[in-house]
Chains A and B, each alone.
Chain A
Amino acid sequence: AQRVTQPEKLLSVFKGAPVELKCNYSYSGSPELFWYVQYSRQRLQLLLRHISRESIKGFTADLNKGETSFHLKKPFAQEEDSAMYYCALNSGGSNYKLTFGKGTLLTVNP
């Protein structure tokens, strides 16, 4: 069965420090992974997807099939990065049915 695990419910860092939000997955097929973000009082929105290998707002994430991980990283955190981050796995093939992790609340302190 497909599963997404985000081991940290809360993560607190200081501005300018590196940040890594962990995500591990379990899936028998070829995984397609995403990071979604929800800023305070805003709707959930797509941050990035592994297939495009892009960097959005300074964040990157690399799919490591050997470790079944898709950790989100940013070298220098900013206060505006404070938000709830969800890792998601496409478990529905072309249907794009997503399985989400429980989320990590990132707080970047000044």
Chain B
Amino acid sequence: DTGVSQDPRHKITKRGQNVTFRCDPISEHNRLYWYRQTLGQGPEFLTYFQNEAQLEKSRLLSDRFSAERPKGSFSTLEIQRTEQGDSAMYLCASSLVGLVGYTFGSGTRLTVV
């Protein structure tokens, strides 16, 4: 297990298209987080899962965003009808309940043109 993997690394899409990102956490980690980072900003919390349950969603996560974590393993983040404002780095992180500190993935950079 080499850490948190995210796929793809880069995605360019046209406005209005749907995109889906995947995150594979460290296998024994039961918590999984999604963050978004725009230029000049720190990461902003989007949502998090404990096992397969989505326990919290940020108000940043509009109805166009949906995240899943089937079977408590990998997670997907889908953005429907993308807008230029969705252009950002999408970061995934995982952790184990009771441990402090995340392990981050390398991120997926989305560009909406």
The answer to whether B31 touches A96 (Cβ under 8 A) is yes
The answer to whether B40 touches A99 (Cβ under 8 A) is no
The answer to whether A86 touches B42 (Cβ under 8 A) is yes
Residues of chain B with a CB closer than 8 A to A32's CB: 100
Q: Does A26 contact B (CB under 8 A)?
A: no
Render A50-89 as a binary contact track against B, CB cut-off 8 A, 1 for contact. Answer: 0100000000000000000000000000000000001010
Tell me the number of A-to-B contacts counted with CB atoms below 8 Å.
Answer: 49
With beta carbons under 8 angstroms apart, the residue of A9, A46, A99 that contacts B45 is A99
With beta carbons under 8 angstroms apart, the residue of A43, A86, A96 that contacts B106 is A43
- B31-70 contacts to A (CB < 8 Å): 31, 33, 40-45, 48, 55-56
With beta carbons under 8 angstroms apart, the residue of B4, B40, B56, B103 that contacts A97 is B56
The answer to whether B101 touches A95 (Cβ under 8 A) is no
The answer to whether B55 touches A95 (Cβ under 8 A) is yes
The answer to whether B43 touches A44 (Cβ under 8 A) is yes
- 16 A-B residue pairs with Cβ-Cβ distance under 8 Å, sorted by A, are A9-B40, A32-B100, A43-B4, A43-B107, A44-B43, A45-B104, A49-B100, A86-B42, A86-B43, A88-B42, A95-B48, A97-B48, A98-B43, A98-B45, A100-B44, A103-B41
Residues of A within 8 A of B (CB): 4, 9, 32, 34, 43-46, 49, 51, 86, 88, 92, 95-103
Residues of B within 8 A of A (CB): 3-4, 31, 33, 40-45, 48, 55-56, 91, 95, 100-107
